[in-house]
Amino acid sequence: MMSDVATRFVVGRSIVSAFAIIGDLLKPKSFAGLFGAAPSVALATLLLTTYSKAAAFTAAKAHTMVGGVIALFIYANCISYVLMRFNMPALAASALFTLLWLGVAIGWLLA
């Protein structure tokens, strides 16, 4: 159990950081932003899942991932709009809208 968590931590941090660094390196900013929605956590988690669980488990995870993706689309658009229109600090906007992400994603799961 603990070794599984440790493996996830190591693999996850490596893949997420790799995508973040690629995003840092690229210009213009809107293109670099694509990497803010890179499948970094998904890639790490699903690859590890393929070693320990059946293929159906991976497919089931990807099916519900759609809800999280829709929430992410709304989240990113809201942040972009609020930063442009209301001059709100980026950290405050992104932290505030994380609650919106959670609401939409959980709503999708329960619907």
Partner 1 sequence: MRVSIDVSSVRRTTVFEYAIRFLLGGIITAVTGLIANRFGAAAGGLFLALPAIFPASVTLVEKHEIEKKHSTGLRGTIRGREAAALDAAGAAIGSIGLFGFAIFVGRFAGSYSPRTVVLSATLIWFATAGPIWRLHKSRMLKRFKARLAINDPRYRDTD
Count, residues near partner 1 per rule CB under 8 A: 83
* Tokens found for residue 99: 């609650």
Q: Which of 3, 70, 99, 111 binds partner 1 (CB under 8 A)?
A: 70
Q: Does residue 21 touch partner 1 according to CB under 8 A? A: yes
User: Does 5 help bind partner 1 (rule: CB under 8 A)?
Assistant: yes
Minimum CB–partner distance for residue 92 and partner 1 (Å) = 9
Structure tokens that stand for 74 in this block: 């709304």
- Nearest-angstrom CA–CA distance, 111 and 106: 8
- Check binding of 84 to partner 1 (CB under 8 A): yes
State whether residue 87 is helix, strand or coil: coil
Q: Which amino acid, one-letter code, is at 103? A: G
